[in-house]
């Protein structure tokens, strides 16, 4: 099909294929938006209660009849949820991010990037979302997607700092730690959502412990060793003893190998470093006392106790 094209012609064909794909995606979104416009009128009587108008986009976008979304989803061979998401994105682009939408409609930018910006800014009031629109429209056709989304994220915060702080507090209240059920192999899944800084230190501690215990598990994979290392966090006494012991050994080896000079100050990791006075005290402390207490209940038959 392309045998007759020169290298320059192939490059032009590749660029045109990208633009054609983008325009096809734009047409798909515009068809959904047109369907929503046809079904944006409010019904009356019993039909009104059974088929209410719903808002799927951000503030300022038109509402659409709830039951109309299933039909267009079927016509698109798509799920209802996916169709609702697409409709919300295109309504936001048309009514809240018109500058960005104008660039996308010409095939000048990736549709998925614009849709992500629409979702990122959906919670913003209509009066301030223009801050995001203006910034994204200037760069979406020329910058990498990651760069565009990073700028969009910053502009979302800039548009309404108070709302951002409120959302931060709301998200903090969604932090959790969950433990799955034990499987037939005696394993369980641990999932946590915590502060980014704490997560980074957990990662650093697991990495450090894995480095220490790797020689003792020569047949284990890196993931297995890290899982074993994470288990030490559940046993703080053993973890502390391991870090103290290794700190002493590592410090002695470093001192013998290369003396520390004033010109080369060392910055120990917060996850594994100990002040010298605390380190000396820990070496003289019986850390086994820090182990968690466990109560074990054993149920025996009367015959066992009586020796019958």
What value, to the nearest 5°, has the Cα angle with vertex 157 and ends 156 and 159? 65
* Residue where a domain terminates, one of 113, 140, 172: 172
pLDDT greater than 70 at residue 291: no
Predicted confidence (pLDDT) per residue in 29-44, tens digit:
999 999 999 988 766 5
Does one domain contain both 49 and 165?
A: yes
**122 with 162: CB under 8 angstroms?**
no
Residues 19 and 129 in one domain: yes
Q: Are residues 139 and 25 in the same domain?
A: yes
207 and 62 in a common domain: no
The token pair that represents 124 in the structure block: 């913003």
pTM for the predicted model, two decimal places = 0.70
Task: Answer with the one of 172, 192, 214 that is the final residue of a domain.
Answer: 172
The pLDDT tens digits of the residues spanning 237-256 come to 788 888 877 765 555 555 55
Residues 213 and 154 in one domain: no
Instruction: Work out the angle at residue 242's Cα, subtended by the Cα atoms of residues 239 and 248, and round it to the nearest 5 degrees.
Output: 135
183 in Cβ contact with 198 (< 8 Å): no
Three-state DSSP string of the chain: CCCCCCHHHHHHHHHHHHHHHHHHHHHHHHHHHHHHHHCCCCCCHHHHHHCCEECCCCCCCCCEECCHHHHHHHHCCCCHHHHHHHHHHHHHHHHCCHHHHHHHHCCCCCHHHHHHHHHHCCCCCCCCCHHHHHHHHHHCCCCCHHHHHHHHHHHHHHHCHHHHHHHHHHHHCCCEEEECCCCCCCCCCEEEECCHHHHHHHHHHHHHHHHHHHHHCCCCCHHHHHHHHHHHHHCHHHHHHHHHHHHHHHHHHHHHHCCCCCCCCCCCCCCCCCCHHHHHHHHCCCHHHHCCCCCCCCCCCHHHHHCC
Q: How far apart are CA 304 and CA 308, in angstroms?
A: 6
129 lies in some domain = yes
Closest Cα to residue 110, out of 144, 69, 85?
Answer: 144
> Does residue 102 sit in the same domain as residue 162?
yes
Residues 71 and 202 occupy one common structural domain: no
Domain boundary residue, one of 131, 151, 172: 172
pLDDT digits (tens, 9 = 90+) for 140-191: 999 999 999 999 999 999 999 999 999 999 999 999 999 999 999 999 999 9
Q: Which domain holds residue 212?
A: 178-260+267-290
Q: Are 190 and 180 in contact (CB under 8 A)?
A: yes
Number of domain units in the chain: 2
Q: Are residues 183 and 168 in the same domain?
A: no
Residue 5: its pLDDT value, please?
Answer: 82
Question: Tokens in use for 170?
Answer: 């709301």
> Do both 113 and 65 map to the same domain?
yes
**Is residue 218 located within the same domain as residue 166?**
no
């Amino acid at each position: 099909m392309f045998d007759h094209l020169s290298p320059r012609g192939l490059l032009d064909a590749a660029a045109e294929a990208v633009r054609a794909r983008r325009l096809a995606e734009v047409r798909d979104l515009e068809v959904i938006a047109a369907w929503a416009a046809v079904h944006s009128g409010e019904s009356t009587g019993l039909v009104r209660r059974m088929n209410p108008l719903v808002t799927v986009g951000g503030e300022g976008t038109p509402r659409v009849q709830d039951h109309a979304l299933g039909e267009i989803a079927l016509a698109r061979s798509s799920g209802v949820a996916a169709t609702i998401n697409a409709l919300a994105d295109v309504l936001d682009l048309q009514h809240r991010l018109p500058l960005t939408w104008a660039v996308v409609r010409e095939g000048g930018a990736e549709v998925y990037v614009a849709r992500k910006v629409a979702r990122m800014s959906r919670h913003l009031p209509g009066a301030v979302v223009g801050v995001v629109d203006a910034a994204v429209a200037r760069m979406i056709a020329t910058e990498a997607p990651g760069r565009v989304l990073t700028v969009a994220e910053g502009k979302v915060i800039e548009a309404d700092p108070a709302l951002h702080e409120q959302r931060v507090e709301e998200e903090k209240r969604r932090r959790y730690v969950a433990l799955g059920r034990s499987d037939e192999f005696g394993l369980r899944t641990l999932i946590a959502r915590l502060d980014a800084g704490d997560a980074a230190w957990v990662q650093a501690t697991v990495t450090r412990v894995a480095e220490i215990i790797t020689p003792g598990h020569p047949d284990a994979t890196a993931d297995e060793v890290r899982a074993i290392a994470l288990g030490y966090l559940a046993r703080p006494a053993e973890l502390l003893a391991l870090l103290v012991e290794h700190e002493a050994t590592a410090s002695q080896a470093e001192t013998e190998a290369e003396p520390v000079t004033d010109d080369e100050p060392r910055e120990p990791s917060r996850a594994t470093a100990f002040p010298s006075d605390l380190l000396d005290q820990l070496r003289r402390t019986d850390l086994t006392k820090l182990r968690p207490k466990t109560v074990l209940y054993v149920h025996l038959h009367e015959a066992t106790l009586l020796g019958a």
